[in-house]
């Protein structure tokens, strides 16, 4: 549990927060997002309402023109969500602060580069300068020994951004990035990182809010008034149930994930791992009305993908599905039978085939078999690959 040290509880006055929201980009309207600035304003109001001084809240927000008159806590003056604003904060300003809890909240476009490095884009990002924050590098910086051991003993980092793969988007060039002098990690720092999506997934952006931000902020606002810091384990468990329900209804396909580094023993898992399968619910619809020959077409298209060819890789793929599906698939060592079992199970859940495709695509792209699988699904089950419905 990300809990308080009862011998020296941290207060809101001992909290420093960096809140970012990027809606407009140098890339132009094609990159516009309507929501991250709105979420940043709501998060800032929540911080101030819990007692964090306005002087301890840094706002880096680049809103759309329609969102320029958002309600900010009195005295807060947002600056652009640009590299030139955030990087000096990380390298210089944090060295001069003496608060004991650091909170970082960011919403905007993101991507996974090189298979594992998460990047968050600044407002100046455009085709020939995809200016971004290397989130992995920042986390290492915040854990490192370049600061005194007593600095920032507790850290909460939250990001609402897509985690689709740069290679899938056809970005073959190396993304620009910051070099961090992270040093050695210190065991005196506890870091809780909550992210909107796992690698290969898109984070849903609804009208004037991100789906992840909306659910997270709702839970934060419902925490007991005197609780500080917020109990991130309890909040995360509530998010599990919420996203399981949304996925069951076909309204969400992303899977929030968290890293928890305590005493430098890092734990990473997806939220679905918190709940036993008995608590994730039963299928809410009957199997799709497909002819058997249609199912075999889907099966054959799946078996052509590399992740379905081996017994162990098939099982790894299964475990990346929501627990309600993963724990309901009948086992067979025969590749054809096991893939058909997987397919039948996914058909019983709204959005199940679309979810299966996203996992296969995140694992196997750019193999041509992935494109063929997509064409087969669009021919037989076109609604499965539609974007999640607006809530």
CB contact at 8 A, 176 and 373? no
Q: Is the pLDDT of residue 329 over 80?
A: yes
Q: What is the pLDDT of residues 211-233, one digit of tens each?
A: 999 999 999 999 998 899 999 98
What stretches of the chain show up as alpha helix (H) in DSSP?
Answer: 36-49, 83-88, 94-96, 135-143, 211-221, 232-248, 292-303, 311-319, 323-326, 335-347, 352-364, 368-380
CB contact at 8 A, 280 and 255? no
Q: What is the pLDDT of residues 343-387, one digit of tens each?
A: 999 998 888 898 899 889 888 888 899 999 999 998 898 888 765
Task: Tell me the pLDDT band of 272, cut-offs 50, 70 and 90.
Answer: very low
Q: In angstroms, rounded to a whole number, what is the distance separating the alpha carbons of residues 77 and 85?
A: 13
Which pTM value belongs to this model?
0.71
CA-derived radius of gyration, the chain: 22
Rounded to an integer, the average pLDDT of 279-293 is 52
For residue 12, what pLDDT is reported? Answer: 96
Q: Is the pLDDT of residue 3 over 60?
A: no
What count of Cα atoms within 13 Å lies in the side-chain half-sphere of residue 58? 21
Q: In angstroms, rounded to a whole number, what is the distance separating the alpha carbons of residues 41 and 73?
A: 8
Q: Tokens at residue 386, please?
A: 């539609």
Angle between helices 352-364 and 311-319 (to 10 degrees): 120
Q: Tokens at residue 267, please?
A: 């734990």
Q: Name the nearest CA neighbour of 118 among 223, 196, 205, 65.
A: 196
Q: In angstroms, rounded to a whole number, what is the distance separating the alpha carbons of residues 241 and 249?
A: 12
More confident residue, 177 or 56: 56
Q: In angstroms, rounded to a whole number, what is the distance separating the alpha carbons of residues 344 and 96?
A: 58
**Mean pLDDT for the chain?**
83
Q: What is the pLDDT of residues 228-256, one digit of tens each?
A: 999 998 898 888 778 878 877 777 777 78
Residue written as token pair 């590299």: 83
Q: Would strands 265-270 and 257-262 be described as parallel, antiparallel, or unpaired?
A: antiparallel
Q: What is the pLDDT of residues 178-193, one digit of tens each?
A: 777 766 777 778 889 9
For residue 271, what pLDDT is reported? Answer: 46
For residue 133, what pLDDT is reported? Answer: 94
Rounded to an integer, the average pLDDT of 10-24 is 96
């Amino acid at each position: 549990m990300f809990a308080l040290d009862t011998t020296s509880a941290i207060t809101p006055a001992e909290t420093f927060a960096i809140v970012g929201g990027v809606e407009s980009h140098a890339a132009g309207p094609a990159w516009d997002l309507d929501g991250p600035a709105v979420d940043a304003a709501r998060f800032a109001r929540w911080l101030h309402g819990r007692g964090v001084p306005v002087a301890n809240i840094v706002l880096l927000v680049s809103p759309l023109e329609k969102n320029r008159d958002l309600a900010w806590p009195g005295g807060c003056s947002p600056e652009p969500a640009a590299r030139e604003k955030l990087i000096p904060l990380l390298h210089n300003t944090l060295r001069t602060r003496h608060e004991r809890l650091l909170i970082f909240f960011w919403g905007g476009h993101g991507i996974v580069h090189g298979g594992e490095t998460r990047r968050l884009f600044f407002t100046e990002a455009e085709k020939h300068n995809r200016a971004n924050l290397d989130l992995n590098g920042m986390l290492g910086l915040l854990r490192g020994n370049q600061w005194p051991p007593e600095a920032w003993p507790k850290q909460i980092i939250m990001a609402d951004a897509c985690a689709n793969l740069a290679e899938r988007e056809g970005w073959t060039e190396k993304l620009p990035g910051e070099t961090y002098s992270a040093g050695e990690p210190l065991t005196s720092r506890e870091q809780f990182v909550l992210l909107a999506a796992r690698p290969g997934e898109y984070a849903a952006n609804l009208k004037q809010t991100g789906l992840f931000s909306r659910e997270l902020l709702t839970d934060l606002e419902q925490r007991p008034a005197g609780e500080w810091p917020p109990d991130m384990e309890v909040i995360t468990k509530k998010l599990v149930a919420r996203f399981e329900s949304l996925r069951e209804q076909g309204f969400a396909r992303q899977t929030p994930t968290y890293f928890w580094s305590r005493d430098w023993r890092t734990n990473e898992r997806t939220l679905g791992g918190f709940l036993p399968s008995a608590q994730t619910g039963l299928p809410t619809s009957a199997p799709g009305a497909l002819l058997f020959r249609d199912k075999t077409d889907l099966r054959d298209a799946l078996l052509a993908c590399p992740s379905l060819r081996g017994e162990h890789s098939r099982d790894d793929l299964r475990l990346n599905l929501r627990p309600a599906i993963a724990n309901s698939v009948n086992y067979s060592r025969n590749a054809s039978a096991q893939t058909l079992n997987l397919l039948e199970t996914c058909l019983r859940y709204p959005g199940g085939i679309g979810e299966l495709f996203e996992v296969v695509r995140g694992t196997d792209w750019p193999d041509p078999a992935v494109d063929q699988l997509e064409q087969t699904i669009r021919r037989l089950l076109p609604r499965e690959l539609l974007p999640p419905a607006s809530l």
